[in-house]
């Protein structure tokens, strides 16, 4: 299946300042598949080493960090000659062999002609104790669940992606009903590659849901494996995310996790889930000025699940209500819709994303996105009522001197107003990019 990160990998290969590449991503988002595909298509040969229960690899990287010695060992293991620039070395599941991390420094310094990519579950990589991270010696990429546009391509609807990026709003509106139908399907399948592939090939809804449940079970098992004394608290936060999103005000409330809880009780657990790539954390901003990070309030935030399909599986949302129900886009206080929008935004590099709320007021902007020197105040509307009261108040009153232009994502078509532009939900990523 086509992934947008493939083009970024090609740029990495061609870069004159290329360094060893680390690809981050939660379990089962497709890291192994896309890197192997890249190696097989863009290089003469691929040396693939899975480090899981690999005694030879363990011995090789536990010795001295002489890169020529390691290259000889890798060639022997793969029964393949490593040719600089023509062979891609791919070390998978590196969390099983922590010394690999520090070895990357020596690849960068001593053998920059060698093309090497490493990947592993964030759940494991983040727990590599005692290893010095090679700061400044590696390139980093993040892989997320498949975006709606990647889902369209997997469904054989690549032409619709082209339409979304054509900036032809009239043409996009012509296909609105088809986009909405496919968006419903994406709400159900989400972007986990195995779920998408199964759905695209079989349309077997129970099979898709089983895959999603298995992924969730694997995450739960990993939480128990990697969190030690924090396991219970991490699980409590993880299981509370759907409930938090179903609230009218989606600001994370510690008391919803455990009565009387405070930040100090769960801040480590929350950070662990963020670092593991299982949730996205969106902090509040106090002002809509550049750069947004200067105005970030880390004490107020919202948590979203890494994938909208997993959100449906986690809540046991019936397939029928998602695929044919009247209110799926507004169900659970718009939880699915907000999660969907954020899921599209995070796939775009360099798009800092926050939310805004006014002190002592219900006024709130669902998201505030920074794109270079532009700030986009965003309101997400899932229900039929699309009156943007908070957005209007921010643009035309509170921040009227900032010359901001509001964005509303909704199920309605493209519409331009003096102070706001309505963008269909299915075109969210195409607009933000």
Nearest of 309, 326, 432, 317 to residue 380 by alpha carbon: 432
Would you place residue 330 in the very low, low, confident or very high pLDDT band (cuts 50, 70, 90)?
low
> Is 87:81 a contact under the CB 8 Å cutoff?
yes
Nearest of 306, 233, 309 to residue 265 by alpha carbon: 233
pLDDT reported for residue 213: 98
Verify cis geometry, omega within 30 degrees of 0, for the bond prior to 291. Answer: yes
- What is the rounded average pLDDT of the residues 361-386? 90
Q: Which of 36-50, 221-235, 417-431 has the lowest mean pLDDT?
A: 221-235
Q: Of all helices (H) and strands (E), which one includes residue 320? A: helix 319-323
Joined tokens for residue 3: 């992934």
- 181 φ, ψ to 5°? -60, -45
Say if residue 139's pLDDT is above 90: yes
- What is the rounded average pLDDT of the residues 205-210? 98
Say if residue 384's pLDDT is above 80: no
Distance CA 267, CA 152 (A): 37
Joined tokens for residue 313: 């599986």
- What is the rounded average pLDDT of the residues 56-84? 95
User: 5-142: which CATH number, 3.40.50.720, 3.40.50.300, 1.10.540.10, 3.40.190.10?
Assistant: 3.40.50.300
pLDDT reported for residue 124: 61
pLDDT reported for residue 324: 86
- What is the rounded average pLDDT of the residues 340-357? 97
Say if residue 63's pLDDT is above 90: no
- 266 φ, ψ to 5°? -130, 0
Say if residue 267's pLDDT is above 90: yes
Q: Which of 34-48, 86-100, 373-387, 415-429 has the lowest mean pLDDT?
A: 373-387
Name the average pLDDT for the chain.
93
Say if residue 134's pLDDT is above 90: no
pLDDT reported for residue 22: 96
Q: Which of 108-117, 169-178, 329-338 has the lowest mean pLDDT?
A: 329-338
pLDDT reported for residue 127: 57
Distance CA 42, CA 197 (A): 23
- What is the rounded average pLDDT of the residues 60-79? 94
Burial, 287: exposed, middle or buried (Cβ in 10 Å; 0-12, 13-18, 19+)?
middle
pLDDT reported for residue 382: 80
- 299 φ, ψ to 5°? -80, -15
pLDDT reported for residue 12: 98
Say if residue 130's pLDDT is above 60: no
Domain ranges of the chain: 5-142, 148-432
Say if residue 425's pLDDT is above 80: yes
Distance CA 207, CA 213 (A): 10
Whole-number CA gyration radius for the chain: 23
**Residues found in the chain:** 433
Distance CA 253, CA 204 (A): 37
With a pLDDT cut of 70, the percent of the chain lying above it is 96
Q: What is the DSSP letter of 333?
A: H
Sign of the dihedral defined by the CA atoms of residues 406, 148, 117, 131, in that order: positive
pLDDT reported for residue 386: 76
Q: Which of 85-94, 252-261, 285-294, 358-367 has the lowest mean pLDDT?
A: 358-367
pLDDT reported for residue 131: 61
- What is the rounded average pLDDT of the residues 399-416? 95
pLDDT reported for residue 359: 84
pLDDT reported for residue 329: 67
Say if residue 327's pLDDT is above 90: no
Say if residue 304's pLDDT is above 80: yes
Distance CA 40, CA 87 (A): 10
pLDDT reported for residue 123: 62
Say if residue 295's pLDDT is above 70: yes
Say if residue 121's pLDDT is above 80: no
- Between 5-14 and 31-42, two packed helices, what is the crossing angle to 10 degrees? 50
> Is 233:268 a contact under the CB 8 Å cutoff?
yes
Would you place residue 248 in the very low, low, confident or very high pLDDT band (cuts 50, 70, 90)?
confident
């Amino acid at each position: 299946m086509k992934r947008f990160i493939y083009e970024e990998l090609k740029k990495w290969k061609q870069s004159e300042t290329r360094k060893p590449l680390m690809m981050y991503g939660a379990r089962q988002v497709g890291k192994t598949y896309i890197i192997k595909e890249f190696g097989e298509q863009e290089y003469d040969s691929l040396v693939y080493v899975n480090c899981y229960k690999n005694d030879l690899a363990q011995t090789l990287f536990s010795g001295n960090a002489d890169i020529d010695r390691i290259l000889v060992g890798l060639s022997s293991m793969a029964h393949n000659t490593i040719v600089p620039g023509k062979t891609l070395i791919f070390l998978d599941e590196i969390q099983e062999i922590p010394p690999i991390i520090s070895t990357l420094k020596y690849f960068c310094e001593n053998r920059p002609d060698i093309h090497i990519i490493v990947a592993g579950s964030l759940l494991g990589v983040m727990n590599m104790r005692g290893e010095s991270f090679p700061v400044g010696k590696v390139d980093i990429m993040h892989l997320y669940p498949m975006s709606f546009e990647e889902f369209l391509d997997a469904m054989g609807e690549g032409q619709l992606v082209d339409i979304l990026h054509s900036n032809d709003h009239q043409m996009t509106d012509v296909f609105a009903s088809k986009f909405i139908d496919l968006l419903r399907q994406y709400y159900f399948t989400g972007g986990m590659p195995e779920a998408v592939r199964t759905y695209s090939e079989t349309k077997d809804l129970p099979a898709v849901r089983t895959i999603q449940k298995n992924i969730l079970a694997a995450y739960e098992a990993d939480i128990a494996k990697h969190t030690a004394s924090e396991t219970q608290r991490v699980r409590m936060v993880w299981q509370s995310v759907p409930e938090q999103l179903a609230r009218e005000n989606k600001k994370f409330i510690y008391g919803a996790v455990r009565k009387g809880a405070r930040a100090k009780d769960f801040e480590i657990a929350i950070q662990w889930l963020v670092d593991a790539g299982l949730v996205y954390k969106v902090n509040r901003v106090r002002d809509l000025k550049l750069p947004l990070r200067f105005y970030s309030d880390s004490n107020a935030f919202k948590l979203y699940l890494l994938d909208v399909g997993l959100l449906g599986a986690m809540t046991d949302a019936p397939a029928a209500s998602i695929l044919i129900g009247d209110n799926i886009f507004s169900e659970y206080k718009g939880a699915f819709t907000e999660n969907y929008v954020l899921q599209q935004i995070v796939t775009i590099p360099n798009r800092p994303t926050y939310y805004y709320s006014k002190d002592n007021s219900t006024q709130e902007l669902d998201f505030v996105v920074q794109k270079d020197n532009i700030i986009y105040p965003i309101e997400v509307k899932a229900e039929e009522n699309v009156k943007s009261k908070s957005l209007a108040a921010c643009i035309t009153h509170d921040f009227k001197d900032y010359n901001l232009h509001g964005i509303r994502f909704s199920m309605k078509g493209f519409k331009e107003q003096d102070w706001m532009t309505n963008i269909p939900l299915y075109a969210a990523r195409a607009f933000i990019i």
